[in-house]
């Protein structure tokens, strides 16, 4: 287990560093323009586009990537440290018996990784990058009376060395001297800490769930139960076997939810998987001894449901076992059923009572 944890931490750190290189290369021009605009007190730039074109015309296209070395190194080390330390901390906070990670452990892991990256990586590199961009501006030579060859900082590494020489090692962590009021710090921290998770949370959830799914028997495990059952409806397949697979899938998926909940969460099969063939309308649940099999051309109706803590969801689907498109009377009856379902759904609205939907049509 320890070897696996170390490998996971190493891979996450490596993935973070590679992602940092790509991100830095793509975002550096935007960061240069943003910094120039923030430092432009004379109003030389009229906007983002004007700033970018001015830099390109006066200093060349390569000027948009000034300060890339500290920025790329910054992001590479930051993401490597963040993801690697987070993985290590999560392993440390996991329950030694069950291997589960509590919400408190997840929170402390993220907090520790964030503090570590801010102290070790973010502050020194941000300061070096900003100082270098400030002294390498084209208007700096005119304002300070220096030619570009005599600029204070010749590059990011030289910039860091000069800061350490003039201000000491702790100069890499120096601020601008301004002191925020406690309420300003609190609001700033709250907004900064909220914006990121709110914006990226949905994408991170989708990414994590898609990456976490595994393949079993050639099928993706993270599939809907209905899709699984329909895929098993093939000629010569025993109906009882297909139904058992549907029920087992629901129990497996619902059983993985809320494992650490203090309250006992009721969950599982709310409506057994039913496969009704041809003239049988619906809700046929075979006995374990039933030997009935599906045949080519059968019209199969699948309905099944699950519940989580009293909340019920049921789904149904009609499937024809054959190759190619469905035609003839089989297609007609499916189309009629679909129309009937749409009409019924339009009648479902607040104020309607169960069982009082008027009959608007008859199937012939």
Question: For 343-353, what is each residue's pLDDT tens digit?
Answer: 888 887 777 76
User: Is 332 within a domain?
Assistant: no
The residue among 126, 125, 120 whose CA lies nearest residue 84 is 120
- Same-domain check for residues 58 and 139: yes
221 vs 37: which has the higher pLDDT: 37
Based on the domain organization, do 24 and 173 belong to the same domain? yes
12 vs 130: which has the higher pLDDT? 12
- pLDDT tens digit string along 156-194? 666 777 777 777 776 666 655 555 677 776 787 777 677
In the predicted model, is pLDDT for residue 72 greater than 80?
A: no
Q: Residue 100, CB half-sphere, CA atoms under 13 Å: how many?
A: 10
CATH code for position 75: 1.50.40.10
For the beta carbon of residue 307, count every other beta carbon within 10 angstroms. 17
* Range with lowest mean pLDDT among 48-57, 248-257, 299-308, 322-331: 248-257
Band the pLDDT of 142: cuts 50, 70, 90: very low
Query: Any idea what the CATH number is for the domain that residue 313 is in?
Result: 3.90.230.10
- Are residues 47 and 166 part of one domain? yes
What pLDDT is stored for residue 222 in this prediction? 40
The reply to whether 31 and 94 lie within a common domain is: yes
**Residue bearing the bigger pLDDT, 303 or 253:** 303
**Any domain includes 215:** no
Determine, yes or no, domain membership for 295: yes
What's the whole-number mean pLDDT along residues 107-124? 76
Q: Give domain status of residue 217, yes or no.
A: no
Q: Indicate whether 56 and 152 sit together in one domain.
A: yes
Residues 159 and 249 in one domain: no
Claim to verify: residue 171 and residue 241 sit in the same structural domain: no
Where would I find the beta strands (DSSP E) of 134-227? 215-216, 219-220
Q: pLDDT value at position 143?
A: 45
pLDDT tier at 151 (50, 70, 90 boundaries)?
low
At residue 7, the pLDDT reads 52
Q: Give yes or no: residues 38 and 173 share one domain.
A: yes
Residues 306 and 167 in one domain: no
**Higher-confidence position of 356 and 188:** 188
Which residue, of 161, 178, 195, is where some domain finishes? Answer: 178
Please tell me the distance from the alpha carbon of residue 289 to that of residue 294, in angstroms, as a whole number.
Answer: 15
Q: Is residue 300 one of the residues assigned to a domain?
A: yes
Local confidence band at 118 (pLDDT 50, 70, 90 cut-offs): confident
Kindly state whether residue 185 falls inside one of the protein's structural domains. Answer: no
DSSP 122: I
Report the pLDDT value the prediction gives residue 279, as an integer from 0 to 100: 80
pLDDT of residue 221: 45
The CA distance from 158 to 236, in Å, is 76
Q: How high does pLDDT run on average in the chain?
A: 73
Query: Residue 283: left (phi > 0), alpha (psi -120 to 50), or beta?
Result: left
Residue 237 structural domain:
228-324
Instruction: Indicate whether 117 pLDDT > 50.
Output: yes
Same structural domain, 53 and 112: yes
- Between CA 50 and CA 170 the distance in angstroms is 37
Tokens of 145: 């009376």
Q: For position 152, what pLDDT does the model report?
A: 58
- N-to-C CA span, the chain: 65
Instruction: Establish if 329 belongs to a structural domain.
Output: no
- Are residue 272 and residue 140 in the same domain, yes or no? no
Query: Which of 197-201, 337-341, 344-348 has the least mean pLDDT?
Result: 197-201
Q: What is the number of domains present in the chain?
A: 2
* Phi, psi for residue 284 in degrees, rounded to 5: -95, 115
Pair 241, 319 in one domain: yes
Assess if residue 61 is contained within a domain. yes
* Alpha-carbon separation of residue 239 from 4, 69, 268, 340 (angstroms): 42, 64, 21, 27
Q: Is the pLDDT of residue 46 over 60?
A: yes
Cα 245–Cα 248–Cα 249 angle in degrees, nearest 5: 85
Q: What is the pLDDT of residue 361?
A: 39
Return the closest-CA partner of residue 127 out of 162, 82, 77. 162
CA 10 to chain centre: 21
pLDDT for position 354: 61
Half-sphere exposure of 65 (CA within 13 A, CB side): 9
- Contact assessment for residue 157 and residue 69, using Cβ atoms and an 8 Å cutoff: yes
Tell me: pLDDT of 285 over 50. yes
Query: 43: helix, coil or strand?
Result: coil
What are φ and ψ of residue 193, in 5° steps? -75, -20
For residue 32, what pLDDT band results from cuts at 50, 70 and 90? confident
| 90 CB burial (10 A radius; 0-12, 13-18, 19+) | buried
Packed helices 68-93 and 156-167: angle between N→C axes, nearest 10 degrees? 70
């Amino acid at each position: 287990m320890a070897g696996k944890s170390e490998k996971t931490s190493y891979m996450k750190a490596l993935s973070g560093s590679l992602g940092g290189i790509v991100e830095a290369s793509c975002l550096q021009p935007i960061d240069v323009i943003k910094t120039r605009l923030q430092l432009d007190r004379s109003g030389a730039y009229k906007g983002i586009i004007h700033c970018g074109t001015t830099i390109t015309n006066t200093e060349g296209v390569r000027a948009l990537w000034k300060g890339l070395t500290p920025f790329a190194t910054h992001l590479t080390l930051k993401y490597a440290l963040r993801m690697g330390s987070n993985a290590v901390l999560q392993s440390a906070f996991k329950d030694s018996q069950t291997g589960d990670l509590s919400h408190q452990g997840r929170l402390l892991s993220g907090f520790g990784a964030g503090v570590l990256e801010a102290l070790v990586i973010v502050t020194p590199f941000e300061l070096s990058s900003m100082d270098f961009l400030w002294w390498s501006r084209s208007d700096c030579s005119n304002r300070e009376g220096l030619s570009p060859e005599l600029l204070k900082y010749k590059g990011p590494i030289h910039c860091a060395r000069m800061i350490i020489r003039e201000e000491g090692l702790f100069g890499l962590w120096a601020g601008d001297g301004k002191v925020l009021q406690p309420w300003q710090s609190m609001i700033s921290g709250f907004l900064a800490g909220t914006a990121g998770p709110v914006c990226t949370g949905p994408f991170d959830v989708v990414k994590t769930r898609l990456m976490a799914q595994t393949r079993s028997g050639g099928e993706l495990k993270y599939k809907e139960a209905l899709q699984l059952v329909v895929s098993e409806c093939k000629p010569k397949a025993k109906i009882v076997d297909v139904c058992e697979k549907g029920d087992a899938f629901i129990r497996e998926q619902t059983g993985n939810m809320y494992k650490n909940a203090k309250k006992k969460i009721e969950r599982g099969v709310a409506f057994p998987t039913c496969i009704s063939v041809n003239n049988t309308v619906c809700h046929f649940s075979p006995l374990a001894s039933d030997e009935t099999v599906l045949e080519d051309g059968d019209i199969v109706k699948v309905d099944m449901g699950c519940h989580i803590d009293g909340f019920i969801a049921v789904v149904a689907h009609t499937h024809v076992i054959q190759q190619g498109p469905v035609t003839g009377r089989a297609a007609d009856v499916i189309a009629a059923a679909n129309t009937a379902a749409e009409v019924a759904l339009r009648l479902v609205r607040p104020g309607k009572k169960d069982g009082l939907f008027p009959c608007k049509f008859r199937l012939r």
